[in-house]
C-alpha cells in the first residue's frame, strides 16, 4: 500500500505523463490538418462556394462530413459520385432533373456561383476522412454490368444514367437506351437532346445544359447503341 507521499507522487507523475501524451497527440493532429484537409487547395472559388453553402443553409436539408440534416442526400462525395455535369444541371434547375419528384429549392444561382459550388464540392470530396463515407456495396449483377460496360461519355455516366438504364444498369425514370440507335437516327437524337420539349411537347425529359462537344459525344454514343443482331449484319 502506497504511503500518502508516494500516492501524491504517483498521481502527479501520472497526470504529467498523460497530459504530455495528450499535448503530443494534439500537436501531431494539428500538424496533419493542412495536408489532410488539402488547405493548399482552398482557392477563392472554393471559399466562395463554402460561403454560398452556409448563406443558403444547405445543411438544413443535406449533410456534409456527416453533419447536417437527413432530408436530402449526403453530399460529402457528391463530386465523385455524380460529377460536375450532374451537379451543374441539378443546381441550375432541380425540378427539370426530376419532374414532379424533387423538392429542392431553385435558388437561381448565377452560372459563376454554380461553378463556385462545384469547386467547393470537389474540395470537400478530396478531404482525407479516413474512408468516410464508405463506398456503397454493389450487388453482383450491378458489379458485372459496370465491369462489362463499354466506354461511355462522361456526361452519359454523370447525367443520363440517373434516369435511363443501359445494359441493365441505370435509372428507371426514363426508357432503357439499349438499341436506341436502331430506333432513331443521329439527326433525330441531336434534335431531341437539344430541345426535348420542342420535339415532344409535354415530355418530362429535361433540356440538359450540354455544350457542343458533349452533345456530339452523346449523339455518337447513342447512335452506336444497336442490337447485336443489327451489328452482326
Is residue 196's pLDDT more than 80? yes
Per-residue pLDDT at 130: 85
Residue ranges of E strands in the chain? 63-64, 67-68, 165-166, 169-170
Q: Supply the pTM of this predicted model.
A: 0.68
Q: Where in the chain is the domain with CATH 2.60.40.420?
A: 140-232
CATH 1.10.760.10 fits 39-125, yes or no: yes
pLDDT tens, position by position, 104-127: 889 999 999 999 999 999 999 999
Range in 4-13, 63-72, 88-97, 134-143 with the lowest mean pLDDT: 134-143
Tell me the pLDDT of the chain averaged across its residues: 85
Is residue 55's pLDDT more than 70? yes
Contact 66, 76 (CB under 8 A): yes
218 or 33: whose pLDDT is higher? 218
Is residue 59's pLDDT more than 50? yes
CATH code of domain 140-232: 2.60.40.420
Amino acid at each position: 500500500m502506497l504511503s500518502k507521499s508516494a500516492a501524491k507522487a504517483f498521481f502527479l507523475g501520472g497526470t504529467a505523463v498523460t497530459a504530455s501524451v495528450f499535448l503530443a497527440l494534439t500537436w501531431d493532429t494539428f500538424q496533419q490538418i493542412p495536408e489532410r484537409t488539402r488547405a493548399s487547395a482552398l482557392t477563392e472559388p472554393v471559399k466562395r462556394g463554402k460561403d454560398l453553402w452556409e448563406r443558403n443553409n444547405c445543411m438544413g436539408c443535406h449533410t456534409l462530413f456527416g453533419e447536417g440534416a437527413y432530408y436530402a442526400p449526403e453530399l460529402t462525395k457528391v463530386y465523385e459520385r455524380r460529377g460536375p455535369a450532374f451537379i451543374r444541371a441539378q443546381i441550375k434547375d432541380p425540378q427539370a432533373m426530376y419532374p414532379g419528384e424533387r423538392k429542392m429549392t431553385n435558388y437561381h444561382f448565377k452560372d459563376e456561383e454554380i461553378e463556385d459550388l462545384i469547386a467547393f464540392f470537389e474540395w470537400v470530396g478530396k478531404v482525407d476522412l479516413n474512408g468516410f463515407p464508405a463506398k456503397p456495396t454493389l450487388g453482383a449483377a450491378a458489379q458485372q454490368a459496370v465491369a462489362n460496360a463499354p466506354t461511355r461519355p462522361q456526361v452519359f455516366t454523370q447525367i443520363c444514367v440517373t434516369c435511363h438504364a443501359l445494359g441493365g444498369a441505370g435509372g428507371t425514370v426514363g426508357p432503357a437506351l439499349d438499341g436506341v440507335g436502331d430506333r432513331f437516327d443521329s439527326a433525330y437524337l441531336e434534335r431531341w437532346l437539344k430541345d426535348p420539349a420542342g420535339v415532344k411537347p409535354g415530355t418530362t425529359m429535361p433540356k440538359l445544359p450540354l455544350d457542343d462537344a458533349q452533345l456530339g459525344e452523346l449523339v455518337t454514343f447513342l447512335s452506336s447503341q444497336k442490337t447485336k443482331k443489327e451489328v452482326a449484319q
